[in-house]
Structure 1
Amino acid sequence: MAPSLLVVTVTYNSSSAIGSFLSSLATAVSSPFSTIIVDNASADVEATRAIVSATDARLIALDENGGYGAGITAGIDAFGPSPDYILVVNPDVHFAEHSIDTLLEIAEQYPDAGSVGPRILDPDDTVYPSARNLPSLRTGIGHAVFSRAWPNNPWTRRYRRSDSTGDTLRDAGWLSGACLLVRSEAYNEIGGFDPSFFMYFEDVDLGARLGRAGWRNLYAPQASVVHTGAHSTSQNAGAMERVHHESAYRFLSRKYTGWYLAPLRLAIRFALAVRVWWRSR
Protein backbone atom coordinates (compact mmCIF):
# COMPACT_ATOMS: atom_id res chain seq x y z
CA MET A 1 0.00 0.00 0.00
CA ALA A 2 1.27 3.46 -0.90
CA PRO A 3 2.35 5.64 2.04
CA SER A 4 -0.03 8.44 3.01
CA LEU A 5 1.02 11.98 2.16
CA LEU A 6 -0.02 15.44 3.33
CA VAL A 7 1.11 18.43 1.26
CA VAL A 8 1.22 21.71 3.23
CA THR A 9 2.02 25.14 1.81
CA VAL A 10 1.78 28.59 3.34
CA THR A 11 0.59 31.57 1.31
CA TYR A 12 1.03 35.27 1.86
CA ASN A 13 -0.40 37.37 -0.97
CA SER A 14 0.37 34.42 -3.24
CA SER A 15 -2.83 34.13 -5.26
CA SER A 16 -0.90 34.72 -8.49
CA ALA A 17 1.23 31.61 -7.84
CA ILE A 18 -1.17 29.13 -6.27
CA GLY A 19 -2.95 28.06 -9.47
CA SER A 20 0.26 26.94 -11.18
CA PHE A 21 1.38 25.28 -7.96
CA LEU A 22 -1.76 23.15 -7.73
CA SER A 23 -1.68 22.25 -11.43
CA SER A 24 1.88 20.93 -11.31
CA LEU A 25 1.23 19.18 -7.98
CA ALA A 26 -1.41 17.02 -9.64
CA THR A 27 1.19 15.53 -12.00
CA ALA A 28 3.94 15.12 -9.40
CA VAL A 29 2.39 12.30 -7.37
CA SER A 30 0.39 9.33 -8.61
CA SER A 31 -0.97 7.98 -5.31
CA PRO A 32 -3.76 9.66 -3.27
CA PHE A 33 -2.71 12.62 -1.15
CA SER A 34 -4.21 15.53 0.77
CA THR A 35 -3.37 19.22 0.33
CA ILE A 36 -3.76 21.97 2.90
CA ILE A 37 -3.07 25.61 2.05
CA VAL A 38 -2.56 27.87 5.05
CA ASP A 39 -3.00 31.58 4.36
CA ASN A 40 -1.08 33.88 6.69
CA ALA A 41 -3.57 36.78 6.87
CA SER A 42 -3.11 37.86 3.24
CA ALA A 43 -4.81 40.82 1.60
CA ASP A 44 -5.69 38.55 -1.36
CA VAL A 45 -7.06 35.63 0.63
CA GLU A 46 -10.40 35.73 -1.20
CA ALA A 47 -8.65 35.41 -4.56
CA THR A 48 -6.74 32.42 -3.19
CA ARG A 49 -9.97 30.96 -1.81
CA ALA A 50 -11.63 31.19 -5.23
CA ILE A 51 -8.77 29.30 -6.89
CA VAL A 52 -8.57 26.63 -4.20
CA SER A 53 -12.35 26.07 -4.17
CA ALA A 54 -12.15 24.57 -7.66
CA THR A 55 -9.77 21.83 -6.42
CA ASP A 56 -9.66 19.13 -3.75
CA ALA A 57 -7.30 21.22 -1.63
CA ARG A 58 -8.37 22.71 1.69
CA LEU A 59 -7.75 26.35 2.62
CA ILE A 60 -7.17 27.48 6.20
CA ALA A 61 -7.23 31.28 6.56
CA LEU A 62 -5.41 32.52 9.65
CA ASP A 63 -6.22 35.84 11.31
CA GLU A 64 -2.58 36.59 12.09
CA ASN A 65 0.71 35.97 10.31
CA GLY A 66 2.76 33.87 12.71
CA GLY A 67 5.47 33.06 10.18
CA TYR A 68 6.30 30.14 7.90
CA GLY A 69 6.92 27.40 10.46
CA ALA A 70 3.86 28.35 12.49
CA GLY A 71 1.76 28.25 9.32
CA ILE A 72 3.02 24.77 8.47
CA THR A 73 2.22 23.63 12.01
CA ALA A 74 -1.31 25.03 11.73
CA GLY A 75 -1.86 23.03 8.55
CA ILE A 76 -0.56 19.81 10.03
CA ASP A 77 -2.62 20.24 13.20
CA ALA A 78 -5.77 20.90 11.16
CA PHE A 79 -5.28 17.69 9.17
CA GLY A 80 -5.82 15.50 12.21
CA PRO A 81 -4.46 11.95 11.82
CA SER A 82 -0.73 11.79 11.25
CA PRO A 83 0.17 10.84 7.65
CA ASP A 84 3.27 8.82 6.84
CA TYR A 85 4.92 11.81 5.18
CA ILE A 86 4.50 15.58 5.06
CA LEU A 87 5.62 17.60 2.05
CA VAL A 88 6.49 21.11 3.21
CA VAL A 89 6.62 23.38 0.17
CA ASN A 90 6.44 27.00 -0.92
CA PRO A 91 3.48 28.06 -3.10
CA ASP A 92 5.79 29.43 -5.81
CA VAL A 93 7.20 25.98 -6.58
CA HIS A 94 6.52 24.15 -9.84
CA PHE A 95 6.90 20.36 -9.69
CA ALA A 96 8.44 18.19 -12.36
CA GLU A 97 6.27 15.23 -13.34
CA HIS A 98 6.47 12.39 -10.77
CA SER A 99 8.95 14.36 -8.65
CA ILE A 100 7.09 13.65 -5.42
CA ASP A 101 6.75 9.98 -6.37
CA THR A 102 10.54 9.88 -6.56
CA LEU A 103 10.96 11.52 -3.14
CA LEU A 104 8.54 9.03 -1.59
CA GLU A 105 10.33 6.07 -3.19
CA ILE A 106 13.68 7.22 -1.79
CA ALA A 107 12.20 7.86 1.66
CA GLU A 108 10.79 4.33 1.67
CA GLN A 109 14.19 2.92 0.64
CA TYR A 110 15.95 4.73 3.50
CA PRO A 111 13.91 4.33 6.71
CA ASP A 112 16.50 6.34 8.66
CA ALA A 113 15.85 9.40 6.49
CA GLY A 114 14.00 12.02 8.49
CA SER A 115 13.83 14.35 5.51
CA VAL A 116 14.39 14.10 1.76
CA GLY A 117 14.85 17.14 -0.47
CA PRO A 118 14.81 17.43 -4.28
CA ARG A 119 17.06 19.32 -6.63
CA ILE A 120 15.73 22.88 -6.65
CA LEU A 121 16.14 24.86 -9.84
CA ASP A 122 15.92 28.62 -10.28
CA PRO A 123 13.77 29.89 -13.17
CA ASP A 124 16.87 30.06 -15.42
CA ASP A 125 17.51 26.33 -14.75
CA THR A 126 20.54 26.90 -12.56
CA VAL A 127 20.71 24.68 -9.50
CA TYR A 128 20.02 26.38 -6.19
CA PRO A 129 22.31 25.08 -3.39
CA SER A 130 19.49 23.62 -1.32
CA ALA A 131 21.48 20.94 0.53
CA ARG A 132 24.04 22.57 2.78
CA ASN A 133 26.28 22.02 5.75
CA LEU A 134 25.10 23.33 9.09
CA PRO A 135 26.55 26.82 9.62
CA SER A 136 29.47 27.05 12.03
CA LEU A 137 30.93 30.23 13.41
CA ARG A 138 33.87 30.21 11.01
CA THR A 139 31.92 29.41 7.85
CA GLY A 140 29.04 31.66 8.91
CA ILE A 141 31.24 34.73 9.36
CA GLY A 142 33.20 34.07 6.17
CA HIS A 143 30.04 33.52 4.16
CA ALA A 144 28.35 36.61 5.63
CA VAL A 145 31.32 38.90 5.02
CA PHE A 146 32.50 37.75 1.60
CA SER A 147 29.53 36.08 -0.18
CA ARG A 148 28.54 39.11 -2.25
CA ALA A 149 31.93 40.63 -3.05
CA TRP A 150 33.67 37.23 -3.47
CA PRO A 151 30.96 34.63 -4.24
CA ASN A 152 33.41 31.76 -4.69
CA ASN A 153 35.19 32.25 -1.38
CA PRO A 154 36.12 29.05 0.53
CA TRP A 155 33.70 29.71 3.43
CA THR A 156 30.70 30.08 1.12
CA ARG A 157 31.77 26.99 -0.84
CA ARG A 158 32.02 25.00 2.39
CA TYR A 159 28.63 26.21 3.64
CA ARG A 160 26.81 25.68 0.34
CA ARG A 161 28.64 22.42 -0.37
CA SER A 162 30.69 22.27 -3.55
CA ASP A 163 28.71 19.17 -4.61
CA SER A 164 25.29 20.81 -4.25
CA THR A 165 24.86 20.61 -8.00
CA GLY A 166 25.84 16.93 -8.22
CA ASP A 167 23.64 14.04 -9.28
CA THR A 168 24.37 11.73 -6.35
CA LEU A 169 22.09 10.96 -3.44
CA ARG A 170 23.90 12.23 -0.35
CA ASP A 171 23.55 13.41 3.23
CA ALA A 172 23.30 17.08 4.11
CA GLY A 173 23.32 19.09 7.30
CA TRP A 174 20.01 20.66 6.33
CA LEU A 175 17.69 20.90 3.33
CA SER A 176 15.79 23.90 2.03
CA GLY A 177 12.26 24.30 3.34
CA ALA A 178 11.19 25.54 -0.10
CA CYS A 179 10.43 21.88 -0.84
CA LEU A 180 11.05 19.22 1.75
CA LEU A 181 9.57 15.76 2.34
CA VAL A 182 9.56 14.96 6.07
CA ARG A 183 8.84 11.61 7.69
CA SER A 184 6.04 12.20 10.22
CA GLU A 185 7.66 9.92 12.80
CA ALA A 186 10.82 12.02 12.74
CA TYR A 187 8.95 15.33 12.58
CA ASN A 188 6.80 14.46 15.58
CA GLU A 189 9.75 13.11 17.55
CA ILE A 190 11.57 16.47 17.48
CA GLY A 191 8.42 18.59 17.86
CA GLY A 192 8.27 19.96 14.32
CA PHE A 193 9.22 23.50 13.34
CA ASP A 194 10.29 25.91 16.06
CA PRO A 195 7.75 28.78 15.95
CA SER A 196 10.29 31.25 17.33
CA PHE A 197 11.76 31.40 13.79
CA PHE A 198 9.29 33.70 12.02
CA MET A 199 11.01 33.33 8.65
CA TYR A 200 14.37 31.88 7.58
CA PHE A 201 16.52 29.35 9.45
CA GLU A 202 13.47 27.33 10.49
CA ASP A 203 14.65 24.73 7.97
CA VAL A 204 18.26 24.95 9.20
CA ASP A 205 17.05 24.41 12.76
CA LEU A 206 14.81 21.52 11.70
CA GLY A 207 17.69 19.78 9.89
CA ALA A 208 20.01 20.29 12.86
CA ARG A 209 17.52 18.80 15.31
CA LEU A 210 16.75 15.86 13.01
CA GLY A 211 20.46 15.15 12.80
CA ARG A 212 20.93 15.32 16.57
CA ALA A 213 18.03 12.88 16.97
CA GLY A 214 19.79 10.37 14.69
CA TRP A 215 17.81 10.98 11.48
CA ARG A 216 19.40 11.61 8.10
CA ASN A 217 18.73 14.60 5.83
CA LEU A 218 18.98 13.19 2.29
CA TYR A 219 19.48 15.29 -0.83
CA ALA A 220 17.82 13.49 -3.76
CA PRO A 221 18.62 15.22 -7.08
CA GLN A 222 16.74 12.47 -8.92
CA ALA A 223 13.65 14.57 -8.18
CA SER A 224 13.52 18.20 -9.22
CA VAL A 225 11.32 21.26 -8.78
CA VAL A 226 11.53 24.86 -9.97
CA HIS A 227 11.36 27.60 -7.35
CA THR A 228 10.13 30.65 -9.23
CA GLY A 229 11.28 33.12 -6.59
CA ALA A 230 10.85 34.46 -3.07
CA HIS A 231 7.32 35.62 -3.92
CA SER A 232 6.04 36.77 -0.55
CA THR A 233 9.36 37.86 0.97
CA SER A 234 10.18 40.11 -2.01
CA GLN A 235 7.14 42.22 -1.16
CA ASN A 236 9.02 43.75 1.78
CA ALA A 237 12.67 43.07 1.14
CA GLY A 238 14.04 45.44 3.79
CA ALA A 239 12.02 43.95 6.61
CA MET A 240 12.80 40.42 5.48
CA GLU A 241 16.52 41.25 5.46
CA ARG A 242 16.26 42.16 9.14
CA VAL A 243 14.21 39.05 9.92
CA HIS A 244 16.80 36.89 8.15
CA HIS A 245 19.61 38.20 10.32
CA GLU A 246 17.54 37.95 13.50
CA SER A 247 16.91 34.29 12.71
CA ALA A 248 20.61 33.75 11.97
CA TYR A 249 21.49 35.17 15.38
CA ARG A 250 18.85 33.05 17.10
CA PHE A 251 20.26 29.87 15.54
CA LEU A 252 23.91 30.67 16.24
CA SER A 253 23.30 31.95 19.78
CA ARG A 254 21.58 28.65 20.60
CA LYS A 255 24.48 26.72 19.12
CA TYR A 256 27.09 28.65 21.11
CA THR A 257 25.56 28.65 24.57
CA GLY A 258 27.24 28.96 27.98
CA TRP A 259 28.04 32.00 30.06
CA TYR A 260 31.68 32.01 28.92
CA LEU A 261 30.53 32.46 25.30
CA ALA A 262 28.57 35.64 26.07
CA PRO A 263 31.27 37.86 24.43
CA LEU A 264 31.09 35.66 21.33
CA ARG A 265 27.33 35.99 21.13
CA LEU A 266 27.65 39.75 21.50
CA ALA A 267 30.18 39.84 18.67
CA ILE A 268 27.87 37.79 16.45
CA ARG A 269 24.97 40.14 17.15
CA PHE A 270 27.12 43.19 16.37
CA ALA A 271 28.48 41.68 13.14
CA LEU A 272 24.99 40.76 11.92
CA ALA A 273 23.66 44.22 12.76
CA VAL A 274 26.45 45.80 10.73
CA ARG A 275 25.67 43.46 7.83
CA VAL A 276 21.98 44.39 7.91
CA TRP A 277 22.88 48.08 7.86
CA TRP A 278 25.30 47.57 4.96
CA ARG A 279 22.87 45.54 2.83
CA SER A 280 19.82 47.73 3.45
CA ARG A 281 21.41 51.19 3.39
Structure 2
Amino acid sequence: IGIKFALNLNSDYVLLLNNDTVVERNFLSELVKVAEKNKDIGVIGPVNYFYDKPDEIQFLSATIDLKRGTIKFHLDRGLLSEELVETDYVQGSCLMIRSNIIHTIGLLDPDYFCYWEETDYCMRVKRAGFRVVCCTSSSILHKGSKSTLKMPGFMVYYLTRNKFLFLRSHSQRFYEFLVYFFLFGFWWDLMGLIKNKSSIIPFIKGVWHGLFHFKNK
Protein backbone atom coordinates (compact mmCIF):
# COMPACT_ATOMS: atom_id res chain seq x y z
CA ILE A 1 0.00 0.00 0.00
CA GLY A 2 2.78 2.41 0.94
CA ILE A 3 4.71 1.74 -2.27
CA LYS A 4 1.64 2.35 -4.43
CA PHE A 5 0.92 5.56 -2.52
CA ALA A 6 4.47 6.80 -3.17
CA LEU A 7 4.19 5.94 -6.86
CA ASN A 8 0.90 7.84 -7.12
CA LEU A 9 2.77 10.91 -5.86
CA ASN A 10 5.17 10.54 -8.81
CA SER A 11 8.13 10.11 -6.46
CA ASP A 12 11.51 9.37 -8.02
CA TYR A 13 12.37 6.78 -5.37
CA VAL A 14 10.65 4.52 -2.88
CA LEU A 15 12.34 3.88 0.47
CA LEU A 16 11.59 0.73 2.47
CA LEU A 17 12.68 1.04 6.11
CA ASN A 18 12.10 -1.40 8.96
CA ASN A 19 10.80 -0.15 12.30
CA ASP A 20 13.70 -1.79 14.19
CA THR A 21 16.28 0.62 12.77
CA VAL A 22 17.92 3.85 13.89
CA VAL A 23 19.11 6.01 11.01
CA GLU A 24 22.01 8.42 10.73
CA ARG A 25 21.12 12.05 10.04
CA ASN A 26 22.22 12.08 6.39
CA PHE A 27 21.52 8.47 5.46
CA LEU A 28 18.75 9.30 2.97
CA SER A 29 20.39 12.31 1.31
CA GLU A 30 23.50 10.22 0.67
CA LEU A 31 21.46 7.45 -0.96
CA VAL A 32 19.67 9.91 -3.23
CA LYS A 33 22.87 11.80 -4.10
CA VAL A 34 24.68 8.65 -5.18
CA ALA A 35 21.66 7.28 -7.06
CA GLU A 36 21.30 10.56 -8.96
CA LYS A 37 24.93 10.33 -10.09
CA ASN A 38 24.55 6.70 -11.21
CA LYS A 39 21.40 6.26 -13.28
CA ASP A 40 22.11 2.55 -13.78
CA ILE A 41 21.45 1.88 -10.09
CA GLY A 42 18.11 0.17 -9.53
CA VAL A 43 18.34 -0.56 -5.80
CA ILE A 44 20.64 1.06 -3.26
CA GLY A 45 21.00 0.59 0.48
CA PRO A 46 23.12 1.80 3.41
CA VAL A 47 25.73 -0.02 5.44
CA ASN A 48 23.98 -1.81 8.32
CA TYR A 49 25.60 -1.81 11.76
CA PHE A 50 24.41 -3.75 14.80
CA TYR A 51 22.34 -1.59 17.13
CA ASP A 52 23.95 -3.02 20.26
CA LYS A 53 27.44 -3.00 18.69
CA PRO A 54 27.49 0.12 16.51
CA ASP A 55 31.09 -0.44 15.40
CA GLU A 56 30.33 -3.92 14.03
CA ILE A 57 29.07 -4.24 10.45
CA GLN A 58 25.93 -6.34 10.11
CA PHE A 59 25.52 -6.05 6.34
CA LEU A 60 27.57 -4.49 3.56
CA SER A 61 27.57 -6.85 0.59
CA ALA A 62 26.64 -10.45 -0.16
CA THR A 63 27.08 -13.08 -2.85
CA ILE A 64 24.48 -15.82 -3.35
CA ASP A 65 25.53 -19.31 -4.39
CA LEU A 66 22.54 -20.47 -6.44
CA LYS A 67 23.80 -24.06 -6.55
CA ARG A 68 24.02 -24.46 -2.78
CA GLY A 69 21.50 -21.92 -1.58
CA THR A 70 24.12 -20.30 0.63
CA ILE A 71 25.06 -16.66 1.10
CA LYS A 72 28.58 -15.32 1.59
CA PHE A 73 28.66 -12.00 3.41
CA HIS A 74 31.40 -9.47 2.69
CA LEU A 75 32.00 -7.43 5.84
CA ASP A 76 35.59 -6.30 5.29
CA ARG A 77 36.04 -2.72 6.48
CA GLY A 78 38.40 -2.18 3.58
CA LEU A 79 35.31 -2.04 1.35
CA LEU A 80 34.25 1.16 3.12
CA SER A 81 36.92 3.04 1.19
CA GLU A 82 34.83 2.57 -1.96
CA GLU A 83 31.85 4.81 -2.65
CA LEU A 84 29.74 1.91 -3.91
CA VAL A 85 29.96 -1.82 -3.26
CA GLU A 86 28.26 -4.22 -5.65
CA THR A 87 26.05 -6.84 -4.01
CA ASP A 88 23.59 -9.53 -5.03
CA TYR A 89 21.01 -7.96 -2.75
CA VAL A 90 20.48 -5.15 -0.26
CA GLN A 91 19.29 -6.08 3.21
CA GLY A 92 15.57 -5.51 3.64
CA SER A 93 16.01 -3.42 6.79
CA CYS A 94 16.54 -0.44 4.49
CA LEU A 95 16.58 -0.21 0.71
CA MET A 96 15.74 2.48 -1.79
CA ILE A 97 14.25 1.55 -5.17
CA ARG A 98 14.17 3.77 -8.24
CA SER A 99 10.49 4.26 -9.09
CA ASN A 100 10.86 3.50 -12.79
CA ILE A 101 12.23 0.09 -11.79
CA ILE A 102 8.95 -0.70 -10.04
CA HIS A 103 7.03 0.39 -13.14
CA THR A 104 9.24 -1.94 -15.19
CA ILE A 105 9.40 -5.16 -13.13
CA GLY A 106 6.52 -4.73 -10.70
CA LEU A 107 6.20 -4.83 -6.92
CA LEU A 108 7.77 -7.19 -4.41
CA ASP A 109 6.41 -10.72 -4.74
CA PRO A 110 3.69 -11.20 -2.07
CA ASP A 111 4.22 -14.99 -2.10
CA TYR A 112 7.26 -14.50 0.14
CA PHE A 113 5.24 -12.68 2.82
CA CYS A 114 8.43 -12.09 4.81
CA TYR A 115 12.13 -12.97 4.37
CA TRP A 116 13.90 -13.41 1.04
CA GLU A 117 11.47 -11.00 -0.66
CA GLU A 118 14.11 -8.27 -0.96
CA THR A 119 16.60 -10.85 -2.21
CA ASP A 120 14.17 -11.97 -4.90
CA TYR A 121 13.46 -8.37 -5.86
CA CYS A 122 17.12 -7.42 -6.15
CA MET A 123 17.78 -10.41 -8.39
CA ARG A 124 14.89 -9.34 -10.61
CA VAL A 125 16.37 -5.83 -10.75
CA LYS A 126 19.74 -7.20 -11.83
CA ARG A 127 18.11 -9.37 -14.48
CA ALA A 128 16.47 -6.22 -15.84
CA GLY A 129 19.96 -4.79 -16.38
CA PHE A 130 20.28 -2.48 -13.37
CA ARG A 131 22.81 -2.45 -10.55
CA VAL A 132 22.22 -3.32 -6.90
CA VAL A 133 24.68 -1.57 -4.60
CA CYS A 134 25.49 -0.55 -1.05
CA CYS A 135 26.37 3.11 -0.45
CA THR A 136 29.21 3.33 2.08
CA SER A 137 28.54 6.98 2.97
CA SER A 138 25.08 6.05 4.26
CA SER A 139 24.55 3.97 7.40
CA ILE A 140 21.90 2.77 9.84
CA LEU A 141 21.77 0.77 13.07
CA HIS A 142 19.69 -2.41 12.91
CA LYS A 143 18.36 -4.39 15.86
CA GLY A 144 18.32 -7.75 14.04
CA SER A 145 19.48 -10.86 15.87
CA LYS A 146 22.77 -12.59 15.03
CA SER A 147 21.81 -15.99 16.44
CA THR A 148 19.38 -18.67 15.28
CA LEU A 149 18.96 -19.52 18.97
CA LYS A 150 16.77 -16.43 19.25
CA MET A 151 14.69 -17.17 16.16
CA PRO A 152 11.02 -17.93 16.79
CA GLY A 153 9.45 -20.77 14.86
CA PHE A 154 7.69 -18.57 12.30
CA MET A 155 11.01 -16.98 11.34
CA VAL A 156 12.69 -20.34 10.84
CA TYR A 157 9.71 -21.54 8.80
CA TYR A 158 9.66 -18.59 6.39
CA LEU A 159 13.44 -18.39 6.05
CA THR A 160 13.46 -22.06 5.08
CA ARG A 161 10.38 -22.16 2.85
CA ASN A 162 11.26 -18.96 1.05
CA LYS A 163 14.78 -20.13 0.27
CA PHE A 164 13.17 -22.87 -1.83
CA LEU A 165 10.82 -20.38 -3.51
CA PHE A 166 13.75 -18.10 -4.30
CA LEU A 167 15.99 -20.80 -5.73
CA ARG A 168 13.17 -22.32 -7.73
CA SER A 169 12.73 -18.91 -9.38
CA HIS A 170 16.37 -17.92 -9.87
CA SER A 171 18.51 -21.04 -10.09
CA GLN A 172 18.82 -22.55 -13.56
CA ARG A 173 19.75 -25.86 -11.94
CA PHE A 174 17.36 -26.17 -9.04
CA TYR A 175 17.99 -29.91 -8.86
CA GLU A 176 21.65 -29.26 -7.98
CA PHE A 177 20.53 -27.26 -4.97
CA LEU A 178 18.20 -30.08 -3.91
CA VAL A 179 21.01 -32.65 -4.10
CA TYR A 180 23.36 -30.45 -2.07
CA PHE A 181 20.68 -29.52 0.44
CA PHE A 182 19.57 -33.04 1.27
CA LEU A 183 23.13 -34.37 1.38
CA PHE A 184 24.59 -31.55 3.47
CA GLY A 185 22.49 -28.42 4.01
CA PHE A 186 19.51 -30.08 5.69
CA TRP A 187 21.67 -31.75 8.33
CA TRP A 188 23.81 -28.66 8.87
CA ASP A 189 20.72 -26.49 9.44
CA LEU A 190 19.16 -29.13 11.68
CA MET A 191 22.27 -29.29 13.86
CA GLY A 192 22.13 -25.52 14.21
CA LEU A 193 18.64 -25.83 15.69
CA ILE A 194 19.43 -28.55 18.26
CA LYS A 195 19.48 -26.00 21.09
CA ASN A 196 16.35 -24.36 19.75
CA LYS A 197 14.18 -27.47 19.60
CA SER A 198 10.90 -25.58 19.28
CA SER A 199 12.04 -24.48 15.81
CA ILE A 200 12.81 -27.96 14.46
CA ILE A 201 9.22 -28.69 13.42
CA PRO A 202 8.81 -25.28 11.71
CA PHE A 203 12.10 -25.95 9.90
CA ILE A 204 10.95 -29.34 8.60
CA LYS A 205 7.58 -27.85 7.67
CA GLY A 206 9.37 -25.07 5.80
CA VAL A 207 11.40 -27.63 3.86
CA TRP A 208 8.26 -29.59 2.98
CA HIS A 209 6.27 -26.55 1.88
CA GLY A 210 9.21 -25.12 -0.03
CA LEU A 211 9.87 -28.42 -1.76
CA PHE A 212 6.28 -28.74 -2.94
CA HIS A 213 5.86 -25.04 -3.63
CA PHE A 214 3.21 -24.27 -1.01
CA LYS A 215 2.61 -20.51 -0.78
CA ASN A 216 0.23 -20.24 2.15
CA LYS A 217 0.85 -17.22 4.38
Normalization by structure 2: what TM-score?
Answer: 0.75
- Does residue 172 (structure 1) correspond to residue 87 (structure 2)? The answer is yes
Task: Say whether residues 1:212 and 2:142 are aligned partners.
Answer: no
The answer for the alignment partner of 2:18 in structure 1 is 90
Contact 1:238 1:280 in 2 (8 A): no
Q: Kindly, what percent of the aligned residue pairs are identical? A: 24
More contact order relative to length (CA 8 Å, sep ≥ 6): 2
Q: How many residues align?
A: 186
1:193-208 equivalences under 5 Å are 193-208=108-123
* Residue 8 (structure 1) aligns with: none
Name the SS for the 1:117 alignment partner.
strand
Distance 1:190 1:137 in 2: 25
1:160 is displaced (CA, Å) by: 1.1
* Partner secondary structure for residue 174 of structure 1: coil
Select 2:179's aligned residue among 267, 274, 278: 267
Residue type matched to 1:133 in 2? T
Distance 1:165 1:181, change over 3 A: farther
Q: For 1:234 and 1:195, how far apart are their aligned partners in 2?
A: 27
User: What is the CA–CA distance in structure 2 between the aligned matches of 1:199 and 1:269, rounded to whole Å?
Assistant: 22
Secondary structure of 2:33's aligned partner: helix
Gap change, CA 1:97 and 1:256, over 3 Å in 2: closer
Matched, 1:127 2:39: no
Q: CA RMSD, aligned part only?
A: 2.6
TM-score of the superposed pair, with normalisation by structure 1: 0.59
In structure 2, the CA distance between the partners of 1:187 and 1:198, relative to structure 1 (3 Å rule), is: same
Question: Are the counterparts in 2 of residues 121 and 224 from structure 1 also a CA contact under 8 Å?
Answer: yes
Distance between the aligned counterparts of 1:268 and 1:238, measured in 2?
24
Q: Higher Cα Rg: structure 1 or 2?
A: 1
Provide the secondary structure at the position in 1 that maps to 2:65: coil
Q: Distance in 2 between matches of 1:106 and 1:252?
A: 31
Tell me the equivalent position of 1:32.
none
Q: Does structure 1 conserve the Cα–Cα contact (< 8 Å) formed by 2:49 and 2:57? A: yes
1 CA distance for matches of 2:178 and 2:149? 29
